[in-house]
Chain A
Amino acid sequence: MGNDDYALIRSVLAGEKDAYGLLVERHSQSVFRVAFRITENEADADEVVQETFLRGYRKLDGFDARSNFRTWIYRIAMNCALDVLNKQKAQTAAPIAEEYDSEQAAVQVVDHTAGPDRLLLSQEIEVRRQAAMEKLTPTERIAFVMRHMEDRSTEEIARALGVAPNSAKQAVFRAVQKLRQSLAPLWVKS
């Protein structure tokens, strides 16, 4: 697969633009998957996929033959997703999520009993999870998604974000701490 990718890249650089279409077809699904995990929005994920392959094409002459195209395009996707998150954060004047009120949450959860309330609790957790994720900085969010959802190692996260491994690890710690602060009371009460 890797060698095939490199052969296609050489064709593109030799002037065969359509060879890049085969690379897009081959990798677009996996790029979409990671873009959706980060943005949690279908339209944004589609935008990230398009932007990733556009940027990838423009930077293709700088591609190192020793690298893996999948890893390389994945890293570009991370940066595109980061840009989308930054843009959204800049456009959001008011905070998206309401401040967490542990007392209120406790009342909501304690009132629930078995059965359908379980569903309500899951919905409550989901709403809180989304709000908590919104509170993370883009770097923390990407580091957490890669570590927790994509099961990537600290070294891979650091390479994708272009930072030191220790910085990547700290970003994951801060993300978990913030999520814990937002969600722990709700979970304990449940």
Chain B
Amino acid sequence: MKHLTEAEMIEHYYSEDFYRAEAERHLQACKQCAQSYEELGKLLGCLRTPDIPIRNSEYGIQVWQSIQGALRPYEPKRKRSFFHWPQFAYVAACMLLLAGAFWGGRMWEHAHTKSLVADNPQQTKERVVLFVLDNHLDRSERLLVQLNHAGAEGENADLPLQAEAKQLLSDNQLYRQSAARANDPLLNAALDHLERVLLEVANSPNGLSSADIARIQQEMNTQGLLFQIRVLRTKVSEQKTNAQAVRKGANI
């Protein structure tokens, strides 16, 4: 019989588990899990915030009075007459000129050059993705190396680390979503793990202490993550090299 993990019990407590009926059946059948779950329930049951202080009906007005002095009114957007004729004529002339140049260029290209192999747009896109992903993984690897050594370097080593983590965090969210769409579970899992580490580093208070760094290293297994990122980088670099080789081969 497979017992429920602590995470599964917490999910069950908050009714967020996918296999709710299955977990319920297990809790009825397994005394050990039922006891742990009961203890968890008792513990979470006693965790309530103190009573919220009552704010009177004037509270909103008081808040508004305290902040309104610091606010500058927005300037209403002016409506522009787009078809003001001299400007319109100038824009139209420029567009006509551009269109003519474009058309002429296309005609000249057709007449004088004949590409042996047209670049497949999908391959081009793939090369670009591999390039930026490789760059992202490289920066992440350097950050993790710094993080793993930061504890020994003293108190102020974290400032550039946090700024870098903040930059990487937004990029990482995009790559993770992209990996999820591309159905790449290995990359998705690694980027998800990386995102949690970046989040902790980025959101830690200024002056991240050695103790905080040690906690992040321990709780988030940054050594393991570093290994994962290195493996992924090797894989991405190989794919990049293959893509370049294919392109060169196609051009010969």
Chain A residues near B (Cβ < 8 Å): 12-18, 20-21, 24-29, 32-33, 36-37, 40, 42, 49-50, 53-54, 57, 60-61, 82, 86-87, 89-90, 125-126, 129, 137-139, 145, 147-149, 153-154, 163-164, 166-167, 169-170, 172-174, 176-177, 179-180, 183-184, 187-188
Contact = CB atoms under 8 A, between A and B. Distances in A.
Interface of B: 6-7, 10-11, 14, 16, 39-40, 42-44, 46-50, 52-53, 55, 59-61, 63-64, 66-68, 70-77, 173, 176, 192, 195-196, 199-200, 203-207, 219
A15 B75 contact: yes
A15 B76 contact: yes
Q: Which of A164, A174, A177 has the most CB of B within 10 A?
A: A164
B192 A50 contact: no
A82 B203 contact: yes
B200 A86 contact: no
Given A24-B67, A148-B14, 7 more contacts: A29-B60, A125-B46, A138-B203, A138-B205, A164-B192, A167-B196, A174-B219
Contacts, number: 137
Contact of A57 (B46, B47, B71, B196): B71
30 contacts: A14-B74, A17-B73, A17-B74, A20-B64, A24-B67, A28-B55, A28-B59, A29-B59, A36-B53, A37-B49, A40-B50, A50-B63, A50-B66, A53-B67, A86-B206, A90-B206, A125-B46, A137-B203, A139-B199, A145-B49, A153-B16, A154-B16, A163-B199, A166-B192, A167-B196, A169-B11, A173-B7, A176-B44, A180-B40, A184-B39
